[in-house]
Structure 1
């Protein structure tokens, strides 16, 4: 197995990262499904609302990303204004129950910098020496330095919607082993 070195680390907004043509783990998983599934994925990217909860969780827990608000009544002037603001990448709107769930998660999770000093949402780019493919990934938390054993551990925050007991199944279902 060839080791891929990530020579390029960039702090960039999601919109710019997702527009970059390099292949990411989602694209690799789609290609493993079939070249046709990969082509469909490239031509029909996921709607941001599908990923809203995870995006909001990353933003509030890791401290990098869009503002997160509870959804207002869309029939009101304030609700219509909120919906208009959400068309940009700077705001994620969650239902009342999702907003409460996320606030509980935020209250439970320690501040990442108190665990290990670093930076959130760092993009990495490299060329795979075996295939020549340009690869990309976005690390949820990039430590400032290696751990005490000299290893650089990269942190990935997951919101699966499953219980802790079901995490192994979620890891398999969502292809976390491929992401690693």
Structure 2
């Protein structure tokens, strides 16, 4: 369906280069399951850096040893300085600590251009605490003792002809995905995050590519660390039934992508009824709430 830029497992591939390559990525798979129109918009519009991802990216660098490091905004309390308009500033922040001054904005632009992640001092402290939590967790530390970070994978699905790409955070005896969460890292809480953000589809997408390349299926684990004190770490895998569902969703993503490439059409939402107007049905939680409120009630 497209010219193959890479094939197989590729180590030490530059991250910006990886993201510029063609093919269906895990993010693309999640977008196209929302709707083909969402996917088409995603690949058609330039993706700007999102500050809300900075903390997670910085933790990745600290734990995995590759990626963008942090740059602390000079705030008058450390050794950091910034040359701006002919002056050497030891504080670029506003009087209230906001990153709103011309100097602070210039610092951000310069550091991002250098491949660094600009953060305020407190966020830098939190990044270090989160990374320390992961590396102090005995299960996570054992899994990270052997393997390689940021491993790129490329393969063509024989069933659909779809060229796929994926980038594992860590590949050793198992595949690891390092996640940060503003919720908690418990099984119950992270399970909700997994299905809300489509991490299950990401897993199945990576698993599929790895199997196409090697003929093998290896365990896939999430190492998740909290972004709030006490910065606990959890290590989780997907249940067997949930893995089967994830594989089916990833297969649907490939099929939708293949149809879009062939037809050039990227439709929006499709109603369950098949008609132009959707019919809203109460979700299970709302039905249960209704039963709790009115079961046995008298008019």
TM-score for the superposition, normalised by structure 1: 0.81
Number of residue pairs the alignment of both structures matches: 167
Partner of 2:249: none
- Superposed CA deviations along residues 110-163 of structure 1, whole A, max 9, x for unmatched, are 2877543111111111111221111111111111xx4xxxxxx11110112211
What CA distance in whole angstroms lies between the structure 2 residues aligned with 1:160 and 1:113? 19
Partner of 2:224: none
> 1:75 Cα deviation (Å)?
9.0
Partner of 1:88: 113
Partner of 1:56: 58
- Superposed CA deviations along residues 6-38 of structure 1, whole A, max 9, x for unmatched, are 733232121101100111111011111111100
Which structure would you say has the larger RCO, counting Cα contacts within 8 Å and 6 or more residues apart? 1
- On the 8 A contact 1:126/1:134 being kept in 2, the answer is yes
Instruction: Give the alignment's Cα RMSD to 1 decimal.
Output: 2.5
Secondary structure, counterpart of 2:180 in structure 1 = coil
Q: 1:99 aligns with which of 120, 124, 133?
A: 124
Cα gap change, 1:160 to 1:130, in 2 (>3 Å):
farther
For structure 2, list consecutive stretches of 5 or more residues without a partner in the other structure. Answer: 1-6, 76-80, 93-102, 204-299
Q: Does 2:194 correspond to 1:171?
A: yes
Partner of 1:3: none
Based on CA coordinates, which of the two structures has the bigger radius of gyration?
2
What CA distance in whole angstroms lies between the structure 1 residues aligned with 2:161 and 2:177? 26
Cα gap change, 1:26 to 1:45, in 2 (>3 Å):
farther
What CA distance in whole angstroms lies between the structure 2 residues aligned with 1:84 and 1:56? 17
- On the 8 A contact 1:66/1:89 being kept in 2, the answer is no
- Superposed CA deviations along residues 49-95 of structure 1, whole A, max 9, x for unmatched, are 34212211111111001121223359973554632432326201123
Deviates more, 1:165-174 or 1:15-24: 165-174
Partner of 1:30: 31
> 1:97 Cα deviation (Å)?
3.2
